[in-house]
Amino acid sequence: MRSCNRLDTLRVPRRAFLSGVAALGLGSIAMAQKPHVAERTKTPAGNGYFDIHIHLAQGWFGSEHGPITADDALRWMDAHGVAKAAVLPLVSPEAFWYPISTEFVLRETRPHADRLIPFCAIDPRTLSTHLPEKRQVVDLLKRYRDAGARGFGEHKPKMPIDDPLCLRLYEACSEAKLPVLFHLDNLANMDSPGLPGLERVLEALPDLVMIGHGKGWWASIAGNLTQTDLHVGYPTGDVAPGGAIDKLMDRFANLYGDLSSSGAHAMLRDPKFGEAFLRRRADRLLFGTDYYDLTQREFPQFELFDRIKVPADARQRISSQNARRLLGLS
């Protein structure tokens, strides 16, 4: 295959690109009978949770884990009172069993645009090969945005969070006005205790909304961490003072937290801390589950406000309003 200095899609007029996106995507893959999913009972799009973090899946291995189609996701949302959900691609080779492309996500969510909100993603290493110029990256991001993408992520490469290629990508996201949802632990967007790498990113790009997620991110509610602590999914015990998240949120108004996956566990490990954190950061937290696997059964996020009491207005901001505001949705 001949090499090239930029993606062929960048030579295509924007209207043609958008038409192509609607047609792209991989077909369904035959597999064993899926677990039974109840018939949908429509959840009104204006009510209920806004889940900032779910995935569709193509089920390449024919296993019980997938695929998860848009209709599967909507059934799951209806069963849990989720009105809208951001659907995140996974393009980096370390991120998932196989790539979930932006084009696939755009295609699958298009018929359900009232409830499934697509994000886009680019692996930062592409900026060293096919997208060496900033204008190329910005143009591609804007094309994705014009095709329906409201955010960027899940950003999950096995690179330091402040790697120069990542910084160039973040800069392009800032120009395209796409918030970045990133996973952080010792295998993706790596950082050190105290999150000095993330601090450098936030200092360099004060206008870019960054949304933290993952084991290392949520471990950082506590102080006195070691490098190993940044890869423990569900730490237990009281939260030691001096956590990096509070320090960074005090300094940077553009930093948010995604409560999916280990986020709810972080709040519940020390309920006294969790209540105070949810109250003081109610404008910076986003409800999410990280639904990506048909075998998932437990989502403590749905029990969070039963176990930790916060004012109704704070609950509403975390559950839905913050995400709608950040993504420009009514």
Above pLDDT 90, what percent of the chain?
A: 78
Burial annotation 189-213 (CB, 10 A radius, 16+ → b, else e): bbbbbbbebbbebbeebeebbbbbb
Of the two residues 171 and 13, the one the predictor is more confident about is 171
pLDDT at 106 over 60: yes
pLDDT single digits (tens) 6-37: 333 334 444 444 444 444 443 333 333 344 34
Q: Which of 56-70, 180-194, 248-262 has the lowest mean pLDDT?
A: 56-70
Contact 233, 264 (CB under 8 A): no
Q: Give this prediction's pTM.
A: 0.87
**Average pLDDT for 75-96:** 96
On the question of pLDDT at 4 being above 50, the answer is no
Angle at 150 between CA 174 and CA 323, to 5 degrees: 95
Confidence of residue 46 (pLDDT cuts 50, 70, 90): low
Place of tokens 């975390």: 318
Q: Lowest-pLDDT range, 16-30, 154-168, 218-232?
A: 16-30
Q: Which of 193, 206, 285, 288 is nearest to 244 (CA)?
A: 193
Q: Is 182 helix (H, G, I), strand (E, B) or coil?
A: strand
User: Any alpha helices (H) in 196-301, and if so which ranges?
Assistant: 196-204, 215-219, 244-251, 262-268, 271-280
Comparing CA positions, the residue from 46, 82, 38 lying closest to residue 290 is: 82
CA distance between the termini of the chain: 46
pLDDT for the residue 61: 58
pLDDT of 263 higher than 90: yes
The residue with tokens 């001096």 is: 242
- Which pLDDT band, with edges at 50, 70 and 90, does 330 fall under? confident
**Which whole number is the average pLDDT over 315-328?**
97
Is the pLDDT at 133 greater than 60? The verdict is yes
Contacts of 156 (CB under 8 A, 6+ apart): 90, 92, 94, 95, 182, 183, 188, 189
- Arithmetic mean of pLDDT, 101-114: 97
* Per-residue pLDDT at 28: 34
β partners of residue 47? none
Q: Using CA atoms, how far apart are residues 241 and 223, in angstroms rounded to an integer?
A: 5
pLDDT value at residue 249: 98
Rounded to whole angstroms, the Cα distance separating 180 from 121 reads 9
Among 3.40.640.10, 3.90.1150.10, 3.30.420.40, 3.20.20.140, name the CATH number for the domain at 51-327. Answer: 3.20.20.140
